[in-house]
Structure 1
Amino acid sequence: MTQPSPTPIKDALQSRAPIDSTQVQGWMRTRRDSKDFSFIELNDGSTLRNLQVIAKNTLPNYPAVQRLATGAAISVTGALVPSQGKGQKWELVADKIDIVGTADDSYPLQKKGHTAEFLREIAHLRPRSNLFSSVFRVRSRLAFAVHQFFQDRGFVYVHTPIITGSDCEGAGELFRVTTLDAEKIPRMGDGKIDYAKDFFARPTYLTVSGQLEAEAFALALSRVYTFGPTFRAENSNTSRHASEFWMIEPEMAFCDLNGNMDLAEEFVKYLVAYGREHCPDEME
């Protein structure tokens, strides 16, 4: 019998009918033991919701399954059946559980709420938390929606430089890019930096905006947009300032202020509707 291809837990939970044999893989959120079987909550990052796995004591490695702790990675093959419990449509009755990797009791993401400060201390594991996994699933969907919105309206996607010699009309403070040794800066006779010895032979920076390039392309392609990383070096240590972020900048030829406002309003409405449709669990 051929091994079934792994099914994302999101697809398993949205199944329209029972499945005799399917395979899911993921990380154990919790395990609860009963007399003859164990309940395992499994998540693979494809959805906010967990899939309940029923591990019976007839499994050949059931004693090892009972020792699994939160964070363990497992691969489960079994039958997807209607759930007997409340709050879930389907559950997986395991015929086989392969233990891919174990986790001990020191695993920090236990079944409880965690503050942003605590998650910052475990950056390598925080994508597994509900908060971060939800944020990045929504971000992934909305990034796709940005492109879909503009592509459906005839805009051309333009990749603008990340390293530039322009400050884009003074849009923000700049991060300098250089190959010069900071401890041995070469200088000319008048004391100014000798950029001839730098990689680009001139002052260069991380971009604060792709606007200048997009304006030039709009005067050739009519409708363009940029969507990429942007850097601002304002020394403002607040929650409202990010030194690196992604920015969306459409540019249109033959367009007035009213057309600009109409596009912006349509764009915001489109993204909100798209997020509500495709990420309902994460948006709640």
Structure 2
Amino acid sequence: MTKNNAQKKAARLHQAANRGTPFPSAMRAVDTRLPAAVPGTPWFRERKRRLVCYCCGHPNLIASFGDEREDTARFELYCENSGCDAREIAVIALSGNMIGTSSRADVRTLTHFPQSATSHRTVNGRYDDWLAGSEPWVRTQRGEDFPCLWCGEMDSRLSQNDVATDRSRFHLRCLNTSCVVREYAVLIVRDGTLGTADRPDVMAIQYIDTPPSSRRTPGDASYDFVAMQRVLDEDDKLARRRSTGPIDWSAATRIR
């Protein structure tokens, strides 16, 4: 008998009754083994919002196309300002009152690979709002508070644990005692120079988000052909992010 056959049948029925529901989401919806304690919708996802970009300081930061709405511990953002080098930005909860935050694969990745000094330093030109490697706007606002993506209050500020020499990753802390998040990381996953591509934290985060059947193995010259639509339909990125299993750090940081 196929593993989880009854659950898969129930998931297909759930999809039929709720058009547009991805298969992994349907599987979770009918899984009676999952804990009931699921946090509510974060403030940022309650409606379409624009935030001030952490890098350039312009109100052009929006939810990225790849943002997983079911993932209440992580956001994928995109800066629409053409004068800003930040492209894809991941905001990940590191600590707080959400169940299982510290044991998530992506959080353990950021713990395993701490902040480090940025190697590609640049200077802003007269027509640039932010260049990769230069001082980000968020670090020029010492003592200022920013809106927290989870509670919406103007109670976030740079954490005391933030490493100022890392210009591609920032750590912030929400001071609102009623918020489910305490500390969170802002990681530039992709910038205009592709300078973040060889960062071990970025490589490992992308490795976790990549379907196993699409990952390269040692010696591969290119990706094997796979039925990509089937892979994407049945891929459960959220489950991999929440995974508490071991991570192959060597494979996760292999140059791809």
**Which TM-score applies when normalising by structure 2?**
0.25
Structure with the greater relative contact order (CA < 8 A, sep ≥ 6): 1 or 2?
2
**Which TM-score applies when normalising by structure 1?**
0.23
Structure possessing the higher radius of gyration over alpha carbons: 1
